[in-house]
Amino acid sequence: MASTHKFLLIFDFDETIINENSDDSVIQVAPEQELPDWLRETFQDGFYNEYMQRVLKYLGDKGVRVSDLKAVYEKIPLSPGMPTLFRFLAKNQDRFETILISDANMFGIESNIKRYGYHSLFRRVISNPTTVEKNGYLTLGPYHSHSCPQCPANMCKRKVVTEYLTERSQEGVRFENLLYVGDGANDFCPTVPFNSTDVAFPRKNYPMHKLIRKMEDKQKGSFKAKVVPWESADVVAQYLQALLNKS
């Protein structure tokens, strides 16, 4: 018989789990803690992943070791209230299937969540693949390709969520509710198809929240999911506790 997990809880990483952008944080180990203009000027909107590939190569050329990068990722602070939310999830792991989807990179994310002791909360971490090369450089690749005009070339989180739900459904797992904690424009895309029993937790006044409000301003009721903005992730923990009390 197909088993039903009540809730699939999806987290973003940068500026959601952690309180800054991990890609920006690695600049701390660059010479003089800054990147040269010629490198910064290669950035193109929608092609951040390719830009970060060049940044990591530059850092490698300048003698930055993988252990230096790891130390930076490990030190990035968690967002307000995130430890409370993670403690709540650790106590209720049987009720939530929790995954992490991020446009950052696997090495950085795993360094951080292992350091804080939350790695085991996530059934899967989905991000851009990294490799530690023989020469000691960290290299980065794109996660996949897609046809979504809204998202960066290397990752559409809506496609990732859809594929994950299909895979779980084939394994006999159905979810009654989808819950999404995020902050960025690329976290808005996967929540647009959500229905009225699903919940979007956008970080207050960040791009995801602004895009939801913009959609609602244009046409009331067009964004179907319940919207619970947060400044501290305590708000998310309280909401999830209330959900469990009802179910």
Q: What digits encode the pLDDT tens for the residues 162-215?
A: 999 999 999 999 999 999 999 999 999 999 999 999 999 999 999 999 999 999
94 assigned binding-site residue = no
pLDDT of residue 247: 78
Q: Which of 12, 24, 61, 94 is catalytic?
A: 12
Could you say which residues of the chain have pLDDT below 50? 1-2
Give the rounded percent of residues in the chain with a pLDDT score beyond 70: 98
Residues 175/165, Cβ–Cβ less than 8 Å: yes
Burial 117-131 (b: 16+ CB within 10 A, else e): ebeebbbebbbbebe
Spell out the long-range contacts of 35-40 with Cβ–Cβ below 8 A and sequence spacing 24 or more: none
Task: Compute the distance between CA of residue 55 and CA of residue 61 in angstroms, rounded to an integer.
Answer: 10
What are the backbone dihedrals phi and psi of residue 115, each rounded to the nearest 5 degrees, phi first?
-60, -40
Half-sphere exposure for 232 (CA within 13 Å, toward CB): 7
14 assigned binding-site residue = yes
SS3 228: coil
Task: Compute the distance between CA of residue 213 and CA of residue 227 in angstroms, rounded to an integer.
Answer: 10
Task: Compute the distance between CA of residue 218 and CA of residue 99 in angstroms, rounded to an integer.
Answer: 31
37 assigned binding-site residue = no
24 assigned binding-site residue = no
12 assigned binding-site residue = yes
Q: Quick one: 41 exposed, middle or buried, by C-beta within 10 A (0-12, 13-18, 19+)?
A: exposed
Task: Compute the distance between CA of residue 103 and CA of residue 15 in angstroms, rounded to an integer.
Answer: 12
pLDDT of residue 145: 94
pLDDT of residue 1: 40
Domain holding 166, by residue range, is 3-246
Task: Compute the distance between CA of residue 13 and CA of residue 16 in angstroms, rounded to an integer.
Answer: 5
Q: Give the count of domains, the chain.
A: 1
Residues 90/121, Cβ–Cβ less than 8 Å: yes
pLDDT of residue 4: 56
Task: Compute the distance between CA of residue 136 and CA of residue 127 in angstroms, rounded to an integer.
Answer: 21
14 flagged as catalytic: yes
Residues 204/227, Cβ–Cβ less than 8 Å: no
Spell out the long-range contacts of 160-166 with Cβ–Cβ below 8 A and sequence spacing 24 or more: 160/101, 160/126, 160/190, 161/10, 161/101, 161/190, 164/99, 164/124, 164/126, 165/8
Torsion of CA 230, 233, 235, 238, to 10 degrees: 160
Residue reference for tokens 């951040």: 48
What are the backbone dihedrals phi and psi of residue 91, each rounded to the nearest 5 degrees, phi first?
-80, -20
37 flagged as catalytic: no
Q: Which CATH number covers residue 199? A: 3.40.50.1000
Q: Which of 14, 24, 37, 94 is catalytic?
A: 14
